[in-house]
């Protein structure tokens, strides 16, 4: 299924966040991280590329079925150096998703490794679903 | 090929030079973050310099440091690597697929010759940082002027 292919140029470009609705209060640039979302029978997994981020600098909030990712990146500028040439910019990351009701919100897990965030969103299993009986009356 | 009735190739070129100078000026007056160039190849790299040391940083999230291959030869550095796709079980349905996988190779001219033994590289949080000190033989030698 996966062919051997080279990573292309457009993979380096970062997309800036468009400020619609609520503005960001931080003064830094914000980018939209690239994510992969895939779904199996048991869970939905969201994998996001967040270089420069570790587990202390991510905020994941879930409110009324909207999952918001906010990652803060401190610029790692080497001491005393001048930036001679730049091909990428450094900034925060922000992206929000609307989840369906099928997600078991208690069981959400997140791990961060080498700048990649993996969010594991389990689906509600049959045992948790209750069938509501209708009584005639 | 059209023959322009007014002006010549040189005046067209002068206009292009002016335009280029204007664009350069436009960019250098902006804050530093805005002065960036599109990368010719993956990955995008930033170069920091200080005296005789160059630091090159690249964002390579999700790549195993063992899959990255850095080689330095005189004044060129070659950065090669491979990003493995995620292991997904059977019956997986993709809703979004934005992260790409594959191999990359980038050659980079350095501003000075580098001693390959002294190069250090570190990889943290998905950002690769390579420190390249200038080779001793390449440092400019001060020439004293003898008064005759």
Q: Do B37 and A83 touch (CB under 8 A)?
A: no
Q: What is the pTM of this model?
A: 0.70
- Please, which pLDDT band fits residue A3 given cuts at 50, 70 and 90? very low
* Interface mutation target, options A51, A52, A58, chain B, most CBs of B under 10 Å: A51
Q: How far is CA B78 from CA A44, B21, B101, B108, B115, in A?
A: 38, 32, 19, 6, 14
Proportion of chain B above pLDDT 90, given as a percent: 4
Domains in chain A: how many in total?
A: 1
* Chain A contact set for B125 (CB, 8 A): 51-54, 114-115
Residue A54 belongs to domain spanning: 28-75+85-128
Nearest to B42 by CA among B66, B61, B22, B15: B61
Reply yes or no on whether the pLDDT at A1 is more than 50.
no
* Chain A contact set for B59 (CB, 8 A): 51-52, 88, 115
State the pairing for strand pair B127-133/B53-59.
antiparallel
- Compare B44 and B8 and report the one with higher pLDDT: B44
- Please, which pLDDT band fits residue A130 given cuts at 50, 70 and 90? low
- Residues A69-88: what's their mean pLDDT? 84
Nearest to B46 by CA among A4, A38, A69, A81: A81
Give a yes or no: residue A135 inside a domain: no
B48 CB contacts (<8 Å, ≥6 apart)?
Answer: A77, A78, A81, A82, A83, A84, B54, B55, B56, B57
Give a yes or no: residue A60 inside a domain: yes
Give a yes or no: residue A15 inside a domain: no
Q: Give the range among A63-67, B21-25, B66-70, B71-75 with minimum mean pLDDT.
A: B21-25
* Chain A contact set for B68 (CB, 8 A): none
Question: Could you tell me if A36 and B94 are in contact, meaning their C-beta atoms sit under 8 angstroms apart?
Answer: yes
* Interface mutation target, options A10, A31, A36, chain B, most CBs of B under 10 Å: A36
Q: Which architecture, in CATH terms, is B39-86+99-138?
A: Sandwich (2.60)
d(CA A64, CA B79) in angstroms, rounded, equals 45
The CATH number linked to A34 is: 2.60.40.790
Question: Could you tell me if A66 and A103 are in contact, meaning their C-beta atoms sit under 8 angstroms apart?
Answer: no
Give a yes or no: residue A64 inside a domain: yes
The whole-number pLDDT of residue B141 equals 80
d(CA A36, CA B100) in angstroms, rounded, equals 9
- Residues A81-91: what's their mean pLDDT? 84
Residues from A in contact with B at Cβ < 8 Å = 2, 4-9, 11-13, 29, 34-41, 44, 47, 49-54, 76-78, 80-89, 113-116
d(CA B65, CA B97) in angstroms, rounded, equals 23
The whole-number pLDDT of residue A6 equals 54
Token pair 């049959």 is at which residue? A126
Q: How close is the nearest chain B Cα to the Cα of A22, in Å?
A: 24
Which residues, numbered 12 to 51 in chain B, qualify as contacts with chain A under a Cβ-Cβ cut-off of 8 Å? 32-33, 35-50
Summary mean pLDDT of chain B: 79
| Chain A contact present for B94, CB below 8 A | yes
Give a yes or no: residue A1 inside a domain: no
Q: For residue B27, what are its two tokens?
A: 């960019």
* Chain A contact set for B88 (CB, 8 A): 38, 40
The whole-number pLDDT of residue B31 equals 46
Reply yes or no on whether the pLDDT at A9 is more than 70.
no
Which residue ranges make up each domain of chain B?
39-86+99-138
d(CA B105, CA B87) in angstroms, rounded, equals 23
d(CA B12, CA B23) in angstroms, rounded, equals 17
- Residues B113-125: what's their mean pLDDT? 86
Reply yes or no on whether the pLDDT at A15 is more than 50.
yes
Reply yes or no on whether the pLDDT at A131 is more than 80.
no
Q: Kindly report, residue by residue over A42-66, the tens digit of the pLDDT.
A: 888 999 989 888 888 899 988 888 8
Q: For residue B9, what are its two tokens?
A: 């190739």
Say whether the peptide bond before residue B43 is cis (omega within 30 degrees of 0): yes
């Amino acid at each position: 299924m996966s062919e051997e292919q080279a990573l292309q140029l457009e993979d380096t470009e970062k997309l800036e966040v468009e400020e619609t609705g609520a503005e960001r209060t931080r003064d830094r640039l914000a980018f939209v991280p690239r994510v992969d979302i895939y779904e199996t029978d048991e869970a939905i997994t969201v994998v996001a590329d967040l270089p420069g981020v570790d587990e202390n600098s991510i905020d994941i909030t879930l409110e009324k079925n909207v999952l918001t990712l906010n990652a803060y990146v401190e610029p790692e500028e080497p001491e005393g150096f001048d930036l001679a040439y730049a091909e990428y910019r450094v900034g925060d990351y922000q992206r929000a998703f609307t989840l369906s009701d099928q997600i078991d919100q208690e069981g959400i897990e997140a791990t961060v490794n080498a700048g990649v965030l993996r969010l594991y969103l389990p689906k509600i299993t049959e045992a948790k679903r209750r069938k509501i009986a209708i009584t005639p009356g | 090929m059209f023959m322009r009735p007014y002006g010549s190739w040189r005046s067209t070129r002068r206009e292009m030079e002016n335009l280029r100078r204007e664009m350069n000026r436009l960019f250098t007056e902006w804050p530093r973050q805005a002065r960036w160039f599109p990368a010719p190849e993956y990955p995008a790299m930033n170069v920091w310099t200080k005296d005789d040391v160059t630091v090159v940083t690249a964002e390579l999230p999700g790549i195993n440091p063992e899959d990255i291959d850095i080689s330095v030869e005189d004044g060129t550095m070659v950065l090669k690597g491979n990003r493995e796709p995620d292991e997904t079980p059977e019956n997986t349905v993709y809703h979004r697929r934005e992260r790409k996988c594959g191999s990359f190779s980038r050659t980079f001219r350095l501003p000075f010759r580098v001693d390959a033994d002294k190069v250090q590289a570190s990889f943290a949080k998905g950002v690769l940082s390579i420190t390249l000190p200038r080779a001793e033989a390449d440092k400019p030698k001060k020439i004293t002027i003898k008064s005759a």
